[in-house]
Amino acid sequence: MSQAATAHAGVEPAETPLTPDSWGKLGMWIFLAGDAVGFGALLAAYGIMRATSGDWPDPYHVLGINLTALMTFLLICSSVTMVKALEWLGKGDRDRCKKFLFYTALGGAIFVSLQAYEWTHLMHRGLHINGNPWGASLFGTSFFIVTGFHGLHVTGGVIYLLAVLGSVARRPAAATYNMVEIVGLYWHFVDLVWIMVFTFMYLL
Amino acid sequence: MAGEHKHPNYMAIFWTLAILTVVELGVVFLPFGKFANGTMLCALALAKAAIVAAYFMHLRFETRTLGLIAITPLAIATLLVFVLMPDTFAVNHKTADKKPAAEAPAKH
């Protein structure tokens, strides 16, 4: 890499001092920082709407906690399978890496399915994006927007994981290590955001 | 690339996160009132998020500047809460003006 850079004067250096292993990693971190601002703005807006509302329903009792606690646990588990996938690829074991990438994607798919089940259940009980029987209509609005935005991230993550899984299957381990590490960053970020969403929207 | 830094004990981190989640579920039932419970829940959530970022996302083993990039959104979100605070009080006053004191709903 550095040979190519010295060969062509004026070409930018092939290594970034922030993430010496790859530019892609830096790119993902910057994307995640931007995405985090998006989630931060949504959660801050949620807090402000809730603080200014006089009849905000008690989320703990309206939304229920058992299913979401299970979903939280599921995402933590899928983060573990994600680090295992990278660990095995680092040891050159592509088959185990593929297996763990698949488990991670499966965890994400189950998470989204449970969320769809939860949404359907809540809608049957009267929680809608424009109103609900328990109080402030913004309660439903913010609930569906924040959990929906996160659910879209999980859905995107599952597709992303399966695409990387395809690459790992086709190419040698050394060629895909960075790719798997970067999809891992994205996946752990989705887990991290859920930890925040779970606390602010369900437990508080 | 691979094996440049020592891998942390991922199972220990998994159990820490799982136990912290159970603690969070327990905190909900503590009789210390909304504010104290809320503070504890926020602290637990931030601790869990920090563990995920530091170990699963390897932030502990990255350069310091990358850590600064990662922490910036938290600073911005915190700032946003304070920036929006005047609006919060303005809306409260407006509602208080509109409704008679007796009808004004209790906070929370």
pLDDT, tens digit (0-9, with 9 covering 90-100), for B43-70: 999 999 999 999 999 988 888 889 999 9
Partner-chain contact B56 A79, CB within 8 Å: yes
Neighbours of A171 (CB within 10 A): 12
Q: How far is A120 from chain B (nearest CA, A)?
A: 24
User: Does B9 contact A at CB distance below 8 Å?
Assistant: no
pLDDT at A64: 86
A15 pLDDT more than 80:
no
Domain containing residue A189: 25-203
Q: Is residue A186 part of a domain?
A: yes
Domain assignment present for A72: yes
Distance, CA of A6 to CA of A20 (rounded, Å): 17
To probe the interface with A, which of B35, B46, B66 has the most A CB atoms within 10 Å? Answer: B66
Q: Are A118 and A74 in contact (CB under 8 A)?
A: no
pLDDT over 50 (residue A4):
no
CB–CB contact A33 B69 (8 Å) = yes
Decide if A9 is inside a domain. no
Residues of A within 8 A of B27 (CB-CB) are 203
Which CATH number do you get for residue A69? Answer: 1.20.120.80
Quote the CA–CA distance of A74 and A113 in Å, as a whole number.
12
> Is A70 an 8 Å CB contact of chain B?
no
Sign of CA dihedral B48, B49, B50, B52: positive
Is any Cβ of chain A less than 8 angstroms from the Cβ of B62? yes
In this prediction, residue A18 has a pLDDT band, given cuts at 50, 70 and 90, of confident
Spell out the domain ranges in chain B: 1-62, 63-100+104-108
In a domain, A7, yes or no: no
* B91 interface with A at CB cutoff 8 Å: yes
Q: Between chains, do A36 and B73 touch, taking CB under 8 Å as contact?
A: yes
Confidence of residue A6 (pLDDT cuts 50, 70, 90): very low
Best of A46, A56, A68, A79 to disrupt the B interface (most B CBs within 10 Å) is A79
**Nearest-angstrom CA–CA distance, A53 and A139:** 9
Cβ–Cβ below 8 Å for A189 and B41: no
Chain B hits for A201, CB-CB cut-off 8 Å, are none
Please indicate whether, in this complex, the C-beta atoms of B88 and A203 are within 8 angstroms of each other. no
Residue A6 domain-assigned (yes or no) = no
What pLDDT does residue A60 have? 86
**Residue at token pair 């039932």:** B29
Splitting chain B (108 residues) into consecutive groups of 10 residues, what average pLDDT does each group show?
64 93 89 87 94 92 89 90 79 55 51
Indicate if the alpha-carbon torsion angle A101, A104, A110, A115 is positive or negative.
negative
Number of domains in chain A: 1
Judge whether A175 is closer than 8 Å to chain B, CB to CB: no
Residue B1's pLDDT is 43
Nearest CA in chain B to A64: B25
Give the best residue of B17, B78, B82, B89 to mutate against chain A (max A CB count within 10 A): B17
